[in-house]
Amino acid sequence: MRGCALDLREGPVSSEAQAMMRTIIHVDMDAFYASIEQRDNPSLAGRPVIVGGVGGERGVVSAASYEARRYGVHSAMPLKKAKELCPDGIFVPVNMEKYRAASSQLRSILASYTPRVEPISLDEAFLDVTASLRLRGDAERIGREIKERILAELGLTASVGIATNKFLAKMASDHDKPDGFVVIPPGDEADFLWPLPVGQIHGVGKVTSRRMQEHGIATIGQLAELSRKDVKRLFGKQGERLHELSHGIDTSEVVAESEAKSISHETTFEVDVDDTDELRRTLASLSDRVGVRLRQEGLVARTVGIKVRLADFTTMQRERSLPEPVSEDNTIFSVAWSLFQEIPLAGQKVRLLGVVATGLDQPSGQMHLFAGPGNRARQTMTAVDNIKRKFGDSAIGRASQTRPPNACKKRRMRKSTGKEQAADE
């Protein structure tokens, strides 16, 4: 059975509908970090490479080559577990500077085809090439040219998916990795989607997939056979989205990098933490970093959120929309700490903390000439920012962030990262 991207049950796509459709390309690098290490060290070619540190040490896998994945190793897995699964694996420390340089090259290639590029992480991006087709040729030609340039200029392979929306393009790029190239022509969405297992729908985890199996839903086609009402009854709020995706419907836009709406920083502790004072100091430091970046980019945030990962790798996120947009460190920290206190720790220690600002915008209105305390606070923050810019982040900070004597001997942090340092998928 064939249909269109808007509703797969309504027959072939008309020429008018095709003319209104978007053309989306999803580019996903293959085992990005690990492939870069294999590229730069030929002796690693064809061997199980695990990026994330020395095997057996504390931490998680940032990336695994396809040779290592055959042993069950995957991103975010504890390094100790990876060593158990793949005892002959070659463990390589993360080199973010090198990965960012390759990512910058990748983005330059993608941006040469369209300004509508939405990076998802260092190694993955969506392109809306609808307006580029007349100049560059059809989407398949563009996609193959992108793959060829990535191989020639970066020495790496990428998987490419092409479809009429982001969901389908992502499904296509995942379908034949590594080094895949899959096009879903308008009208063929059902033929592609419906035979696939429901677990391949992005966002469907093990729990939801298991519930579907209990209801006799094994394929996306079987899910599509259910009415919208039935899917909502079975899966609640998620049901509406699942119903649309099972019919190939996704109206989300490609958001160009310049339009990205979040700034974040996070820290993974080398030793899990349950000390309230240290957790508070860490959130304060992360809030300051987010505030500095907001002010550097001349932005304010309407929403502040946190990310908390516990010792058992349970990860929770909370956010709060604010009545007025902010960029002040103290306000960001106040909201972050309030959100953290709502997290059910259940006696567990904390492994990771993060602070994120979203809903970014340019500040509106003019500052008053005699703005009183608020203006003095902004002047103080500007002075602090200048000191940090000149002498480094540790040159000045809050008194509340000062550790008690010898505290530094008790705890150490492994790393502090911005959102751009996403784990390789």
Sign of CA dihedral 176, 177, 182, 187: positive
Taking only the tens place, the pLDDT of each residue in 255-298 is 886 666 788 898 888 788 999 999 999 999 999 999 998 888 78
Q: Which band of pLDDT confidence, cut at 50, 70 and 90, is reported for residue 312?
A: confident
Q: Report yes or no on 89 lying in a domain.
A: yes
Place of tokens 């941006």: 111
Buried b (16+ CB within 10 A) or exposed e, 293-304: bbbeeebbbbbb
Answer whether 64's CB lies under 8 Å from 82's CB.
Answer: yes
Sheet holding 124-128, edge to edge: 117-121, 124-128, 24-29, 158-163, 181-183
Q: Report yes or no on 173 lying in a domain.
A: no
Assigned token pair, 202? 């992005």
- Whether residue 121 is predicted with pLDDT greater than 80 in this model: the reply is yes
pLDDT, greater one: 130 or 60: 130
Q: Report yes or no on 69 lying in a domain.
A: yes
pLDDT, greater one: 407 or 325: 325
- Whether residue 91 is predicted with pLDDT greater than 90 in this model: the reply is yes
Answer whether 60's CB lies under 8 Å from 76's CB.
Answer: yes
Task: Given the residues 124, 189, 278, 328, select the one marked as catalytic.
Answer: 124
Average pLDDT, the chain: 82
Q: Which band of pLDDT confidence, cut at 50, 70 and 90, is reported for residue 381?
A: low
Q: What is the 3-state secondary structure (H, E, C) of 261-326?
A: CEEEEEEEEEEEECCHHHHHHHHHHHHHHHHHHHHHCCCEEEEEEEEEEECCCCEEEEEEEEEEEE
DSSP string for 183-239: E--TT-HHHHHTTSBGGGSTT--HHHHHHHHHTT--BHHHHHTS-HHHHHHHHTHHH
Can you give the CATH number for the domain in which 36 is found?
3.40.1170.60
Alpha helices in 96-164 (DSSP H): 96-111, 133-136, 139-154
pLDDT, greater one: 21 or 4: 21
Q: How far apart are CA 147 and CA 152, in angstroms?
A: 9
Neighbours of 320 (CB within 10 A): 13
The segment with the largest mean pLDDT, out of 189-193, 267-271, 360-364, 385-389, is: 189-193
The boundaries of the domain holding residue 45 are: 32-96
pLDDT, greater one: 424 or 251: 251
Helix 329-340 × helix 276-296 angle, to 10°: 140
Taking only the tens place, the pLDDT of each residue in 172-209 is 999 999 999 999 999 999 999 999 999 899 877 777 88
Neighbours of 386 (CB within 10 A): 11
Q: Report yes or no on 137 lying in a domain.
A: no
Sequence letter at residue 14: S
Q: What is the pLDDT of residue 314?
A: 83
What φ, ψ does residue 158 adopt, rounded to 5°?
Answer: -135, 150
Buried b (16+ CB within 10 A) or exposed e, 189-216: bbebbbeeebbebeebeeebbeebeeee
Answer whether 250's CB lies under 8 Å from 362's CB.
Answer: no
Taking only the tens place, the pLDDT of each residue in 19-60 is 458 999 999 999 999 999 999 999 999 999 999 866 445 678
Q: What is the pLDDT of residue 364?
A: 61
Q: What is the pLDDT of residue 338?
A: 94
Q: Report yes or no on 245 lying in a domain.
A: no
Assigned token pair, 290? 């987010």
- Whether residue 146 is predicted with pLDDT greater than 70 in this model: the reply is yes
Nearest to 30 by CA among 162, 180, 175, 178: 178
270 is catalytic: no
pTM attached to this predicted model: 0.64
Q: Report yes or no on 50 lying in a domain.
A: yes
- Whether residue 395 is predicted with pLDDT greater than 50 in this model: the reply is no
Q: Which residues contact 388 (CB under 8 A, 6 or more apart)?
A: 292, 395, 396
Q: Which band of pLDDT confidence, cut at 50, 70 and 90, is reported for residue 133?
A: confident
Q: What is the pLDDT of residue 73?
A: 94
Can you give the CATH number for the domain in which 293 is found?
3.30.1490.100
Neighbours of 2 (CB within 10 A): 13
Answer whether 353's CB lies under 8 Å from 286's CB.
Answer: yes
Tally of domains within the chain: 2
Domain boundary among 44, 79, 96: 96
**Three-class SS state of 350:** strand
- Whether residue 70 is predicted with pLDDT greater than 50 in this model: the reply is yes
- Whether residue 11 is predicted with pLDDT greater than 70 in this model: the reply is no
Domain boundary among 49, 71, 96: 96
Q: Report yes or no on 198 lying in a domain.
A: no
Domain boundary among 96, 120, 152: 96
Helix 237-246 × helix 228-235 angle, to 10°: 140
